[in-house]
Structure 1
């Protein structure tokens, strides 16, 4: 289950929300949150390439310079409004508009034009972070610079070998809330899970720990494992599945990105690495190691995609409850809602209180 297609660009299914299922009020109850959000895989953007992706109901133009640096800019040329994602070229370190060939340098300023006198103007860049084979942009309040970084885990050398994406009528906060709402794993997905410790919040980061007894991986059959999930804002989370008996660790990324009002692309990716080659015969051989880790990553992603496909109809038709009536076992949801408040502008209540 590996794909490089982005559902927001390929005409994926767009279900219509039924009457009464839209968020309360005249529009989405939640705006696009601040934080880091994935717009593409690194391998989708070669040197000299230009790529357009949707974010928060607007286009973002990604391009990679000849030196390999990734830039992200708002889509319209300040000269006469040409869309920089359609027909622009990369020349050296500059993005060149297809309409009148004004060139914009690494800092966004106009560096040249056909008449030899650059305009005193610029395009507005987003902060960009390339990590583990993903391209992330920063969405700040009123253009503020990044206030925090994505965690440097599981390490720069680890890149996913299996990818999948789905588009759904929901908001990133609702997607990530499924991690805190661990009780639905039993009722909806029939997974036997147990919370090992309450969620721990640390600024823009939130960590949860579960034990699961419902995983099936090729060669190993039915397994149980402990999984720790680290959330960094509402656009990035990483689940670590430890299999010490087999000397393996699986890394599973969840990357929800808002592409429009109450519309989200969820990218999921998996990687597997060997932590103790003595546990499985042959893991010292590169070919065996590569084949096994890819198979485990793909199987884990396939299992995860099957679970998410069960979530999608719920997301597509549910209503956001700004003040849910939480049950006795929903403490983690309350912690999550309180933690999520920080990613929205201060001011009138936006409905994050669980009570």
Structure 2
């Protein structure tokens, strides 16, 4: 499947590359992002960094034996050390040079690590064009990761394809209002009706917010059950038409518990995670064999798919001329409350 040409380029934006808890002080990890390795590490004082994988001296890969020593990342080949700002700070014999690491912009949010990518990819990505929204205030209690033969836009598009939700997943999910756009945010208003033992049919109002093409976030309250639900779906492009998908969930259950994180909440979170992953597993074979159609034959009731695609154009290297200046018919746009162009998130 890798050999086929990709009809969509890599999108720009923030993409999840792992969990905060998997990168304690002194730890180094290599992740794959847009066809390239990225090395993540955390210094002894807790600063987290994302850099290109190769030492600028003679090209050794930091992920193949490199170490973190205090605040420095140390090359495994000749021992050159690099500080948090990317500059060379020394070597075993005291020699230094002016070369520096290729740094990526990285931030931590809700227990997750995100790296900024410019439209079309590239080794450094340039300064972030926008910030991630504020944290929701809780960290995920259950995680899953997998891979699909697809593109982040295709994964995200499923959230506005309500017909497939009914046919493929058997869920009674309906759009309750037109979607809203606020710069890199796209909010979908929907209601899911399901049945719970002893309660009968329960309607769940669950606005879903897309944050660029790298995060889908659902925040739902279930007053009938006295529960709350937070779900993150995080597609990350790892190669042409191949996407890593992470799912994170925090659920609260209406039962008494003791301690900061109750066992009952963990159990509820894993139950909700399994339900979400089951949907992804049902999507997986369809995504692997479907063809992306730039001009699909949409039918009545599918207008939000077209609106989503027009909103998504902003994340690519060359959006249609005048796209940002022209309103999108039928799409309610609001100011980017709480969002602004991002500074160097790597600090």
TM-score (norm 1): 0.84
Aligned residue for 1:334, secondary structure, equals helix
Aligned partner of 1:252 in structure 2 is 231
Aligned partner of 1:346 in structure 2 is 318
Q: Report the alpha carbon displacement of residue 224 of structure 1 after superposing the two structures with TM.
A: 3.2
Cα RMSD (Å):
2.3
Aligned partner of 1:182 in structure 2 is 162
Distance in 2 between the 1:348 and 1:332 partners?
Answer: 19
Tell me: CA distance 1:252–1:215, structure 2 relative to 1, closer, same or farther (3 Å). farther
Distance in 1 between the 2:28 and 2:66 partners?
Answer: 7
Aligned partner of 1:325 in structure 2 is 297
Q: Report the alpha carbon displacement of residue 273 of structure 1 after superposing the two structures with TM.
A: 3.9
Distance in 2 between the 1:289 and 1:247 partners?
Answer: 17
Aligned partner of 2:89 in structure 1 is 111
Question: Is 2:142 aligned against 1:162?
Answer: yes
Aligned residue for 1:60, secondary structure, equals strand
Aligned partner of 2:77 in structure 1 is 99
Tell me: CA distance 1:163–1:63, structure 2 relative to 1, closer, same or farther (3 Å). same
Aligned residue for 2:153, secondary structure, equals helix
Q: Report the alpha carbon displacement of residue 182 of structure 1 after superposing the two structures with TM.
A: 1.8
Aligned residue for 1:115, secondary structure, equals coil
1:199–1:209 CA contact under 8 A, matched in 2 = yes
Aligned partner of 2:116 in structure 1 is 138
Aligned residue for 2:207, secondary structure, equals strand
Aligned partner of 1:121 in structure 2 is 99
Q: Report the alpha carbon displacement of residue 348 of structure 1 after superposing the two structures with TM.
A: 7.2
Aligned residue for 1:174, secondary structure, equals helix
2:213–2:312 CA contact under 8 A, matched in 1 = yes
Question: Is 2:62 aligned against 1:84?
Answer: yes
Between the two proteins, the alignment pairs up a number of residues equal to 319
Tell me: CA distance 1:343–1:135, structure 2 relative to 1, closer, same or farther (3 Å). same
Aligned residue for 1:312, secondary structure, equals helix
Tell me: CA distance 1:127–1:333, structure 2 relative to 1, closer, same or farther (3 Å). same
Aligned partner of 1:202 in structure 2 is 182
Q: Once the two structures are superposed, what CA deviation does each residue of 1:63-120 show, in whole Å capped at 9, x if it has no partner?
A: 1111111111111111001001111111111100000011111111111123313111
Which runs of 5 or more structure 1 residues have no equivalent in the other structure? 1-15, 275-279
Aligned partner of 2:10 in structure 1 is 32
Aligned partner of 1:9 in structure 2 is none
2:39–2:51 CA contact under 8 A, matched in 1 = yes
Distance in 2 between the 1:337 and 1:41 partners?
Answer: 29
Tell me: CA distance 1:138–1:71, structure 2 relative to 1, closer, same or farther (3 Å). same
Q: Once the two structures are superposed, what CA deviation does each residue of 1:18-49 show, in whole Å capped at 9, x if it has no partner?
A: x9xx4xxxx21111111000111112112101
Q: Report the alpha carbon displacement of residue 140 of structure 1 after superposing the two structures with TM.
A: 1.8
Aligned residue for 2:299, secondary structure, equals coil
Which runs of 5 or more structure 2 residues have no equivalent in the other structure? 322-327, 329-347
